[in-house]
Structure 1
Amino acid sequence: MRLLLAVVALLLTSLSVPADAARGGGGPVIQPLPVGTDADYQLGGERAVPPGVGIVVRDRRAEPAGRYDVCYVNAFQTQPDEGRFWRSRMHLVLRHDGTPVRDEAWGEWLLDLRTAAKRTALARIVGRWVDRCAADGFEAVEYDNLDSFTRSQGLLRRRHALAYARLVVAEAHEAGLAAGQKNLAGLDGTRLGFDFAVAEECARYRECGEYVAAYGNRVVAVEYRRRDFRRACRQWGAELPVVLRDLDVTPDGVRRFC
């Protein structure tokens, strides 16, 4: 009997599924954000990637760079050049007195996350984008504007954003992509399923430590001012990839690594 039990245990061990592959009920293996390498942030256009860079973030409509490629998706607001797409889906855009609520800094409309039905509909749209990212060869997705509720004139609540975040993280994982939190420092996004973070100006706003507390060294730090970049390099450069970019992240703009 003991021999039989030992054989059964051995067979079960040999058939066990790796933990990463088990995410999503036996779904695809998700590749974690690499550590110990630089990261480049190329949202405004593609450019050559230096040899020491192992992580590259590009817009979802761009080609992957052939490194660990992160697909940028504006999941909580609209892109300025996608007005036609969203005008045909205005029931999913947040409105106040019939007028779309805007993020004035970037001219983007906020998406309406207030009901489960709208969150589900929006997650389906994002899911199609994410599937395309995966098909194109990206390894991960960065979801921008998790904090859009703070710019919603009080119409959105934090709970709406977090409920929606769970849905889009699930979409990423189902597509085999790691999911990156963007914004809302202090939130432990791992509780929502996020795998890493992209921290814009975390040195400027003294937030890097909050992201590190949740994600360890799986944090990409992006700074836009030289003095903040120098501070980030002094404090976090030994642990995190830190890149200095121009605010418009143009293809020929500022780019420095620690």
Structure 2
Amino acid sequence: MDQDPSGWWRPEPGTPWQWQLSGDLDLTVDVPVYDVDHQVPQEVVDRLHADGRRVICYLSAGTVEEYRDDAHRFPAEVVGKALGDWPDERWLDVRRIDVIGPVLLDRLDACRDADFDAVEPDNVDAWANDSGFDLTAEDQLRFNRWLAAAAHERGMGVALKNDLGQVADLVGDFDFAVNESCARYDECDLLQPFVDAGKAVLHVEYGLTPAGFCEVAHRPGFSSVLKDRDLTAYRHVCEHA
């Protein structure tokens, strides 16, 4: 997990990881990489670094979460439909980088200033969802590449979160992938370009028994973990994963 020659860090394929976005943070999991919310206290990032971990900064880039303290900065004209499973979260019009970009850049600045090693921008697949906007694949590619470049300009690695329909187009712009439920939907082959490029795939499945999870958590190049959908401290891995 050395610094990439490009100047920012990225995880090596197969790197064990922990992803926790809710509940009391458990900082004792014996893994070299943690993925946590961008608004965790500074002492969390400092503690993880002191313990020799790398830390990924989770933030939503393609939606507005009404409970965030900067939610008011997104005007109604760029706020679309609610996400089906998350009624307090709404899609953003990613065509309007001129409007939403300053808010997202401030978040990336905060990740950099907190000394995060990389960033995981979530909800970057509005074009493939019922967002309330007439978005094209090109609209999404432009936005996602803008995000990746902005993270790199700040010296951080960046993950492509889901957006499986555009992996082949974006693998060169992103340093690793974070995926939810590709085994459940029989989509893991779509992430092969990251594996072929020697880039990590941090993979999570939900709603399976440990035994059922271990039947699918063995793809070369994947770092697979079983989690609950609330992304608490619970974590299960398999010996062969």
- 1:111 to 2:89 alignment: no
Given the superposition, is the C-alpha separation of residues 127 and 241 from structure 1 closer, same or farther in structure 2, using an over 3 Å criterion?
A: same
Question: Is the 1:221–1:242 contact (alpha carbons within 8 Å) kept by the matching residues of 2?
Answer: yes
**Counterpart position of 2:59:** 73
- For residues 79 and 196 of structure 1, what CA distance do their matches in structure 2 show? 25
* Structure with more of its chain in helix, by fraction: 1
Paired residues for 1:47-62 under 5 Å: 47-51=26-30, 53-62=31-40
- For residues 69 and 137 of structure 1, what CA distance do their matches in structure 2 show? 8
**Counterpart position of 2:214:** 230
Which amino acid is the alignment partner of residue 225 of structure 1?
G
**Counterpart position of 2:186:** 206
Question: Is the 1:197–1:215 contact (alpha carbons within 8 Å) kept by the matching residues of 2?
Answer: no
**Counterpart position of 1:244:** 226
Q: Percentage identity across aligned positions? A: 28
1:215 offset after TM fit, Å?
A: 4.2
Larger CA deviation: 64-73 vs 174-183: 64-73
Given the superposition, is the C-alpha separation of residues 88 and 50 from structure 1 closer, same or farther in structure 2, using an over 3 Å criterion?
A: closer
Question: Is the 2:159–2:176 contact (alpha carbons within 8 Å) kept by the matching residues of 1?
Answer: yes
**Counterpart position of 1:134:** 112
Greater Cα radius of gyration, structure 1 or 2: 1
Which amino acid is the alignment partner of residue 142 of structure 1?
E
**Which one of 112, 133, 158 corresponds to residue 137 of structure 2?**
158
**Counterpart position of 1:181:** 160
Question: Is the 2:4–2:10 contact (alpha carbons within 8 Å) kept by the matching residues of 1?
Answer: no
Per the alignment, in what secondary structure is the counterpart of residue 174 of structure 2? coil
- For residues 83 and 157 of structure 2, what CA distance do their matches in structure 1 show? 27
Per the alignment, in what secondary structure is the counterpart of residue 110 of structure 1? strand
Deviations 1:188-231 (A, max 9, x none): 25356111100111111122221132344510001112255223
1:50 offset after TM fit, Å?
A: 2.1
Given the superposition, is the C-alpha separation of residues 142 and 189 from structure 1 closer, same or farther in structure 2, using an over 3 Å criterion?
A: farther
- For residues 166 and 55 of structure 1, what CA distance do their matches in structure 2 show? 24
**Counterpart position of 2:146:** 167
1:186 offset after TM fit, Å?
A: 3.6
**Number of residue pairs matched by the alignment:** 220
Structure 1 residue runs of 5 or longer lacking an equivalent are 1-17, 22-28, 95-99
Structure 2 residue runs of 5 or longer lacking an equivalent are none
- For residues 122 and 154 of structure 2, what CA distance do their matches in structure 1 show? 18
- For residues 12 and 194 of structure 2, what CA distance do their matches in structure 1 show? 16
Per the alignment, in what secondary structure is the counterpart of residue 257 of structure 1? coil
1:138 offset after TM fit, Å?
A: 1.1
